[in-house]
Amino acid sequence: MKEKLEQIRAEVIKKIDTSENLDALNDIRVSVLGKKGELTAILKGMKDVAPEDRPKVGQLVNETREAIENVLEEKKAAFEKAKREMQLKEEVIDVTLPAKKIKIGHGHPNTIALEDVERIFIGMGYEVVEGPEIETDYYNFEALNIPANHPAKDEQDTFYITKDILLRTQTSPVQARIMEQGKLPIRVIAPGRVFRSDEVDATHSPCFHQIEGLVIDKDVTMADLKGTLEQFAKELFGEDIKTKFRPHHFPFTEPSAEMDVSCFKCGGKGCRFCKNEGWIEILGCGMVHPHVLEVCGIDPNEYTGFAFGVGLERIALLKYEIDDMRLLYENDERFLSQF
């Protein structure tokens, strides 16, 4: 029996030594230690061994089993180590390879222009406020001196949601909302989206942006309006820019004006950019109408103020000499990344 066991042991260890992979090792384990394995068969045959020899034989079998298991484990560990080393070699990372470039986003011309305008007015002590894009007829028209059937309603062809609710056609309703709050004095700008039922072309879009301005205080005059907007134009377009105020009509201001700036392309001589006029219109403005102040709960005998409305796209187009507004909305990265 002893020889038999030693023979098994020597043969199995040799097989293990020459085995080539984990699968082969497993086959060997099954063939020796498995249910139908050689050693298992010997254990099963113990009943034929004389009772006095059984402990001795049992011990021998166990020793053999342990020895084989140890060698199996060692070999298995060796195979696994080799496999891991192979994997590490295959998956090696070359840290000297150039990194993938991360594309960093870029401000939209509208955003850049808005930030410019905000910076200028914040510098003059203004606060930036916002109002709703879905507005009532009351704030968009009525409170601004534009009653039903007023021709100004026609000029701003509107998207109605119901008879009384609409997409605001201008940022001017924010004026009424701020005045109503009753905190005086007021010095705000209110940028935001506005909507008009306009056909898309090079200078029109059904959705665009305005920046509203409003100042209400004691003793505010037209001189304050002119000084402020002149300073704004110079900071935005350059110190050499000249401004010109032309009388105009807006229902919510009296007197009203439009401000032109001298063409910064030709300096006022006249060119294609300013359509040979030498001047470019950039905003509407005026002294807040006493009736609007009253409707919004402010005493026009005590307070006066001025307001203005700038088209944001217009500023962006002028600033970057873009000749078609549609380019601002196409989101073509090749176009946008130029600014």
Tell me which residues touch ligand DAH (CB under 6 A): 170, 172, 212, 250, 253, 284-286, 307-309
With beta carbons less than 8 A apart as the criterion, state whether 71 and 29 touch.
no
Q: Measured from the CB of residue 245, what is the shortest distance to ligand DAH in angstroms?
A: 12
Q: Measured from the CB of residue 253, what is the shortest distance to ligand DAH in angstroms?
A: 4
Which strand (E) or helix (H) includes residue 226?
helix 222-237
Nearest CB to ligand DAH, comparing residues 256 and 262: 256
Q: Measured from the CB of residue 277, what is the shortest distance to ligand DAH in angstroms?
A: 20
Helix (H, G, I), strand (E, B) or coil at 229: helix
CA–CA separation, 291 and 194 (whole Å)? 24
Token digits for 208? 């665009």
Q: CA nearest 280: which of 314, 329, 251?
A: 314
Q: Which residue is nearest to ligand DAH (CB)?
A: 309
Nearest CB to ligand DAH, comparing residues 19 and 256: 256
With beta carbons less than 8 A apart as the criterion, state whether 147 and 141 touch.
yes
Q: Measured from the CB of residue 282, what is the shortest distance to ligand DAH in angstroms?
A: 11
Q: How many other CB atoms are found less than 10 A from the CB of residue 144?
A: 27
Nearest CB to ligand DAH, comparing residues 67 and 152: 152
Nearest CB to ligand DAH, comparing residues 57 and 141: 141
Q: Measured from the CB of residue 165, what is the shortest distance to ligand DAH in angstroms?
A: 19
Nearest CB to ligand DAH, comparing residues 19 and 304: 304
The DSSP secondary structure of 112-135, one letter per residue, reads HHHHHHHHHHHHTT-EE----SEE
Which strand (E) or helix (H) includes residue 303?
none
Q: Measured from the CB of residue 115, what is the shortest distance to ligand DAH in angstroms?
A: 21
Nearest CB to ligand DAH, comparing residues 241 and 285: 285
Strand pairing category for 279-288 and 186-195: unpaired
